[in-house]
Amino acid sequence: MRAVVYEEPKKFSVRDVPKPPVSGGQVLIEVKSCGICRTDAHIHNGAFISRFPLTPGHEFAGVVAEVGPDVKGFSVGDRVTADNTVLCGECYYCRRDIPLFCENFYSLGCNGPGGFAQYVLVGYDKVFSISDRLSFRQAAFTEPTACAVHGMDVIEVRPGDDVLVFGAGPTGIILTQLLRHGGAGRVVVCASSQAKLDLVARGGYARTVPMDRSDYGKHAKILREAFPRGFDIVIDATGASAVLQQAFDFVKPRGKVVVYGVCGEEETIEVRPYQFFEKEIKLLGSFAQTHCFDRALMFLEEGIVKVDDLVTDVYGLEDYAAALDRMLFGKDVLKVLVEP
């Protein structure tokens, strides 16, 4: 089969590799669509939890091509997606029922073979059926939607909360939709791409404020005039440390600042501890997901989370280099899909 293979960070090729043999409770999925996200950019550079050699791709959907003898509930030809997280169930954190921090965390596409290939091998306990109502392209959004669901669990929105989201990338827009359906009162998205803000406005997901990356004072003035007391929740979905740092300027007393975007591992921000003391601010992080796929699929199947407008580019597997480049450097790009 054909697959993207990284020998080491930044060094990859599309090549022939053996199709993985199926045994026990395993399901071989023929990949129909697989999304590229910013995490893949971190993996490309050897960061996050990457381990090489590696076939990346953790947002995939497809058709069951083969099942092992111990598989229950799935047959060849079924339309499916799969949770890419594999947890040991035995380590300190798994035994404490916080498996997201499994000490042996194995993630397809991050430190194990993933979906930028013609086939991907998955344990059947991580496979989820998708109905004919969902296209494979829509179903490829299950993993980022699951991450947003986990984010909602972490944030614990109260009915009527005012929420400010910095960033309008695919996961930021998905999270914004869940915030609107999760009890938030007024939601504002502040981002530098007018095209992305227009999409948010058309969907009715949130109010929008343009961000001026060269002069943060411009959007700060607009936000303070509209919300002089600030926001109950301020979320950074950009992964830019400079944007995250300004989040503390807009949070109400006893409010929450949420680190949702993925900053570089070595990036830092400066904050004044007195802000935390004076306002009793809570600082929260939201990392990936486990056990959120069923709810994510429900949101997609019911049309509560809408993703059709988020697909801006589709590439073949052989054009993975162009797809990655487009995601990293393209103007007004949202979701780039690779379809083997």
Q: Which of 65-79, 217-231, 258-272 has the lowest mean pLDDT?
A: 258-272
Examine the domain organization and report whether 112 and 171 are in the same domain.
no
Do the domain assignments include residue 97?
Answer: yes
* Residues contacting residue 165 through CB under 8 Å, at least 6 positions apart: 172, 175, 176, 179, 187, 188, 189, 190, 206, 235, 237
pLDDT for 58: 98
Q: What pLDDT is attached to residue 151?
A: 98
The residue length of the chain stands at: 340
Q: Are residues 276 and 159 in the same domain?
A: yes
What are the pLDDT digits (tens) for 282-295?
A: 999 999 999 999 99
300 with 178: CB under 8 angstroms? no
Same domain, yes or no: 183 and 115: no
The answer, yes or no, to whether residue 25 has pLDDT greater than 90, is yes
Which string of b and e fits 157-183 if b means at least 16 CB within 10 Å? beeebbbbbbbbbbbbbbbbbbbbebe
Between the CA of residue 123 and those of 26, 68, 77, 261, 322, what are the distances in Å? Answer: 4, 9, 17, 29, 31
> Which run of H or E residues covers position 172?
helix 170-181
pLDDT higher than threshold 90 for residue 264:
no
Higher-scoring residue by pLDDT: 35, 262: 35
C-alpha distances (whole Å) from 63 to each of 80, 237, 295, 303 are: 6, 32, 21, 22
- Res. 172: pLDDT tops 90: yes
Please tell me whether residues 150 and 126 are part of one structural domain.
no
Whether the pLDDT of residue 110 is over 90: the answer is: yes
Q: How confident is the model at residue 335 (pLDDT cuts 50, 70, 90)?
A: very high
Predicted confidence band at 276 (pLDDT cuts at 50, 70, 90)? very high
Evaluate whether residue 302 is within a structural domain. no
Q: Residue 265: its pLDDT value, please?
A: 87
> Which CATH number does the domain housing residue 189 bear?
3.40.50.720
User: How buried is residue 278: exposed, middle or buried, by Cβ count under 10 Å (0-12/13-18/19+)?
Assistant: exposed
- Segment 125-159, tens digit of pLDDT: 999 999 999 999 999 999 999 999 999 999 999 99
In terms of domains, do 326 and 242 share one?
Answer: no
Quick check: is 182 in a domain? yes
Q: Which range marks the domain in which residue 105 is found?
A: 2-140+307-339
Location of structure tokens 């989370």? 305
Give the C-alpha separation, 194 to 20, whole Å: 44
Q: Could you tell me if residue 296 is inside a domain?
A: no
Is the preceding omega at residue 53 within 30 degrees of 0, hence cis?
Answer: yes
The answer on 131 and 186 residing in a single domain is no
Does one domain contain both 96 and 37?
yes
Q: Do 77 and 10 share a structural domain?
A: yes
* Same structural domain, 162 and 269: yes
Do residues 59 and 110 share a domain?
yes
Q: Is the dihedral of CA 44, 50, 56, 59 positive or negative?
A: negative
- Asked, for residue 87, whether it belongs to a domain, the answer is yes
Q: End-to-end CA distance of the chain, in Å? A: 10
Judged against a pLDDT cut of 90, whether residue 194 lies above it is answered with yes
Question: Is 295 part of any domain?
Answer: no
Question: Residue 107: what pLDDT?
Answer: 97
DSSP 175-227: HHHHHHHTT-SEEEEEES-HHHHHHHHHHTS-EEEE--TT-HHHHHHHHHHH-
3 state DSSP class of 4: strand
Same domain, 76 and 22: yes
pLDDT of residue 280: 97
Mean pLDDT of the chain: 97
Asked whether residue 175 is domain-assigned, the answer is: yes
Q: Specify if 249 maps to a domain.
A: yes
Report the distance separating Cα 70 and Cα 27, nearest Å: 10
pLDDT tens digit string along 240-259? 999 999 999 999 999 999 99
Domain CATH number, residue 100: 3.90.180.10
How high is the pLDDT of residue 141? 98
Token code pair at residue 173: 């827009």
What domain count does the chain have? 2
For residues 86-111, give the mean pLDDT: 97
Residues 179 and 123 in one domain: no
Is the per-residue pLDDT at 297 higher than 90? Answer: yes
pTM: 0.97
